[in-house]
Structure 1
Amino acid sequence: MKKDTVMERIVNVTFAFLNAESRGHHYLTAEWIIENVAGYKKNPETGETRSYEAAHQLFKRDRTALIRAGVPIETVATNSHTAYRLQVEEYPLKKVNFTPEEATVLALAGQMGLGDELAAFSRSGWTKIAASGIDRELTATPRFHPVNDWNSLSVSHFDSILEACRNNKRIHFEYLRNKASVPQWRTMDPWGIVSHRDRLYLVGFDIERQEKRVFRLTRIISVSKPEDIAPGDTFHSLPPETNLQKLVEEQLRQGQVLVNATVEVKEGHGLEFSSRGTLNSDGSYSLIDVDRDWLIRTAVALAPAVVVIEPPEVVSDIVSLLSSAAEEA
């Protein structure tokens, strides 16, 4: 189906007005809209940059269409510019209610856009939801973002796997056990994709091994087109009451080094630790049976807002990594 670029642009500018009101910026200028709302400055179909006059005329047409549709946009004369305002008192949206956990999940889903190929999936999703009044705790921007599987995930692989999971189709894929290994073809009846500690895993039934298996999604280097099950064969469905999250955790635990740790977390930071740990009387958090590798990587990424107190061997590794990073900088 052809993308409706006109409708997308009009929806984007409507949410821009809504978001401006919710953040106390009551007026928007045509210049701001042309520069910041997708679809005006550049033609999304050709990628060509429009002249200011053409973009301004486009906004004028969209504004007229919105007013005719009942969206109350008024023109306001300021000291040096003509600006525009959405009369929110005349255009109330039904309040959307999410629990704090649901709002956080939606916000985290928007972080997929930090990656390269998945950026288009979430470029404006959280902004549009936030425009209706949803909020979440936002901390200061970290000095750098931890590298996770969302950053390097292939959209085409992701689409093929999701299609197979939804429609009970079999897939074949090439898999690297590690960077030095030779790719191997695997055949699977997939059940779902699970996110665990910033990593993504494909869970399903391995046809060759005839057992439940978990595969790291970013180590899949090619995926065949999902195919229907051959006559006489049967798709291995997800067993009743199977928890995919627990299945991934159990399989990963077999190859993990688990440690108990004590960490100090600066207020307003380190949700990854405070949500998993037990708060101690001195304000620190105790974490039980956490993956040693994850603990080191995440503590380094969030330093200095997060400080690991023990175990000492983990502290030593963190200090070494931070020292190396400082020397390279």
Structure 2
Amino acid sequence: MAIAKAERLMNLALCLLGASRALTKRELRDSIEAYLEAFGPSGRLPSQHAEAGGDDAFNRMFERDKDDLRELGLVIETLETDEGETGYLAHRDSNRLPPVALDAEEAAALGLAARVWQQARLAGAASGALQKLHAAGGMPAPADGAGGRGAAERQPYSSLEPHIPAREAAFEPLMLACRDRRAVAFEYRKSNAARPERRLVEPWKLECWRGQWYLAGFDRDRGEQRVFRLSRITSAVRSRAGAFTAPVPEQVSVRGTVEHWAGESTTGSARIRLRRGCGYPLRARATAQRRLDDEWDELELPYGHGMDAWLVEFGPDVVVLAPDELRAEVVDRLRAVAKD
């Protein structure tokens, strides 16, 4: 059975890191099992099970492997051996990261960041990273100097519980699709639509804005960039084969697009009635507010394109007073939802 490429690269890296002197291609070929299995020892013809091509095939594979290791960050030096041949060596000092030492403020920030991911795939990676830092001595000791089990919980930041919710089932498959550059298909219901529609998307980036996750990508059917709110994806996310058909921009502004749709790009002001104790995001954006009675407050908000879609999300807790066009847009959206 052929040895996997990852194992071959790992063995090559360990061989170069463990050597006390530069090793030639011939020595590496005779030392690494994957090369021996594929090409046989140097100076001999490959076995009947080996890859065809002999020395030329080995040279091509070795050069690819060496380039892959360098791309992963391994510093490989090219040196001349005592026999005048070209040799390769990866000095441990050149491939060792400096010690990690965090002060109290840095450790607190890192601890809080690691506790953000409570329900997503990143939770395990974040927890493992903190454990490694504690084991290596990179995290400062608790304020009382105590160690042992539970020491991390006694840090000053342990009482804070920040988190970014990622409850949508679409989050993890879309996160992996963005990472792997794989197109996806899903059913999506727009805020003003009675029924969901199928979307075929090349995903670029996920971003959280005001407690909601959004995906930016290229909509193949519509031939342009679109932004999708994950809570409106009504089906499972399915991967599609094939490479991306549109270039991925260097900068993808998910938040800027959503802010524009949600009325952050303002053209005036709007007045609404808001039920007391509700709609904190609206109150945070209000330029003025006053109490009407025990049940309602009146707020004045910056008004821009797409604000009707945002107000609809608050349902019966919001009543639009002005302008008239905004009130009509909100009513139309509520009627469309009621028909669903």
TM-score (norm 1): 0.40
* Bigger Cα Rg: 2
TM-score (norm 2): 0.39
